[in-house]
Structure 1
Amino acid sequence: MARYCLVRLILVGSLLVAPVALAGDHRADLLLERMIKAVENLSYEGTFVYIHGQKTETMQIVHTRDEQRGQRERLVSLTGEPREIIRDDNILTCIWPASRSVVIEPRRSRLGGLPAAIPDRGFGPDSPYVFRLEDEQRIAGLPCRTVQIEPRDDLRYGHRLCINEESGMLLKSEMLDDEGRVIEQFMFTSIHFPSTVADDKFTPVMKGEGFSTYRVDIHHSELPPDPGWKVNEIPDGFHLTSVTKRPMAANQNPVQHMVLSDGLATVSVFISLAESLDDLYVGTTRSGALHAMAVPSGDYQVTVVGEVPEATVRMIADSVIHEGNGQ
Structure 2
Amino acid sequence: MAAFLCLIVPATALAQQQCEALDPAVARLLQAMSNNAQQVSYSGVVTLQRGGDMQIMELSHSVSNGQASEELSRLTGQDARVERSGHPTDCMHPGHQLLRATDTLKGSYCGLASVYKFRLQPGDRIAGRESLRLRAEPRDMYRFGHVLELDQDTALILKSSIFAADQSVLEQFQFASLSMAPGDPKEAVVAHEASHPHPQESEHLRAGPAWELAWLPDGFMATDSTPIKSQRKSYTDGLSSFSVFLEPLSVAIKPGEGVERQGSTVAYTRGVLLQRRPVLITVLGEIPTNTARMLADSVRLR
Query: Is 1:176 paired with 2:191?
Result: no
Q: Unaligned stretches of 5+ in structure 2? A: 7-17, 102-109, 184-198
Query: Is 1:62 paired with 2:60?
Result: yes
Cα distance between partner residues in 2 of 1:15 and 1:236: 17
Cα distance between partner residues in 1 of 2:254 and 2:75: 37
Shift in Å at residue 155 of structure 1? Answer: 0.9
- The higher relative CO (CA closer than 8 Å, separation ≥ 6) is in 2
Cα distance between partner residues in 1 of 2:215 and 2:180: 46
Alpha-carbon deviations, 1:252-294, whole Å to 9, x = none? xx97001233333222111111244348762222111112221
Alpha carbons 2:72, 2:82 under 8 Å: kept: yes
Q: Greater helix percent: which structure?
A: 2
Alpha carbons 2:233, 2:245 under 8 Å: kept: yes
Cα distance between partner residues in 1 of 2:201 and 2:73: 24
Query: Is 1:258 paired with 2:233?
Result: yes
Q: 1:63 to 1:237 in 2, by over 3 A?
A: closer
Question: Tell me, what secondary structure is at the counterpart of 2:125?
Answer: strand
The amino acid that maps onto 2:126 is I
Cα distance between partner residues in 2 of 1:294 and 1:219: 21
**TM-score if structure 1 supplies the norm length?**
0.69
Query: Is 1:290 paired with 2:265?
Result: yes
Cα distance between partner residues in 2 of 1:176 and 1:162: 14
Cα distance between partner residues in 1 of 2:227 and 2:216: 20
The percent identity for this pair of structures is 28
**Pairwise CA RMSD of aligned residues?**
3.2
Q: 1:15 to 1:138 in 2, by over 3 A?
A: farther
- Select the residue among 234, 249, 273 that pairs with 2:216: 234
Q: 1:226 to 1:274 in 2, by over 3 A?
A: closer
Map of 1:104-183 to 2, 5 A cutoff? 120-121=97-98, 122=100, 124=110, 127-183=114-170
The amino acid that maps onto 1:170 is I
Cα distance between partner residues in 2 of 1:284 and 1:67: 44
Cα distance between partner residues in 2 of 1:33 and 1:85: 27
What residue number does 2:192 align with? none
What residue number does 2:10 align with? none
Moved over 6 A (4+): 219-222
**TM-score if structure 2 supplies the norm length?**
0.74
What residue number does 1:82 align with? 79
Q: Unaligned stretches of 5+ in structure 1? A: 1-12, 92-108, 112-117, 197-215, 247-253
